[in-house]
Amino acid sequence: MPRLEGRTVLITGAARGQGEQEARLFAAEGARVVVADVLDDLGEALAKELTQTFGDDRVRYQHLDVSSEDDWAEAVQACTDAYGRLDGLVNNAGILRLNELVSTPLQEFLTVVRVNQVGCFLGMRAAAPLIEAAGGGTIVNTASYTAQAGMAMLTSYAATKGAILSMTRVAALELAPKGIRVNAICPGSVDTPMANPANVFVGDSGEPMMSAEDGAAIAAATAELYGRVIPLGRIGRADEIAKLALFLTSEDSSYITGQPVIVDGGWLAGVSID
């Protein structure tokens, strides 16, 4: 039997990257999936594709700005309206900005906090009562290996991911009596649009400061560099992260809660001298 048969799961940032792969995998494993994002065209296209693939109403799209309380209220209501319940949440939505500590504008820092940290908080707060009402379930938060070890130029990003780990532990303690398990994924470097420099370096108006093509070229060069220090010799793939999210959402992880699970190709294991 598919591992998520009969379950309803909301996935944020699901229009592309890790979230997209999670939506594809969860739907294939029998879940009813609410694809949530601000990228409406991509999200609607994905939901339509997966609906056609499975020939039922298993997937639907919901616009969701994770930093908005009103959007979260509408999103969880959409889950119950469409499927009558909510069994799981994957807080995947996130953004990345690179900057030195002393050069990071307050507004840039707060922008990352609103999406990554506040979005995760609002998601857990909005989803937990519905998951409890469904008889229990799971929450999977996307943190980062940078929550476990520092990395230059990532003050705002690492700060939010560290906060997500702390919130995960507290939520796990509070929600365990309600039948809800809460865990965190800590990916290393992964090939996703979020890490493309065209989506990282943006102006005050939010417009990219370089073309998508230039960003892809820089991303490829960076991936090659990282591959020299990562024990497995390469950066991760989004589908590999999705498999971990599936494990933590399924009954395969029934005795795991409050834990950060690192998936980084061995990066944090140490340094190998060849």
**Which residues belong to the active site?**
157
**DSSP string of 97-126?**
--B-GGG--HHHHHHHIIIIIIHHHHHHHH
- Count each helix (H run) and each strand (E run) in the chain, helices first: 9, 9
Give which of 47, 8, 13 is closest to 242, Cα–Cα.
13
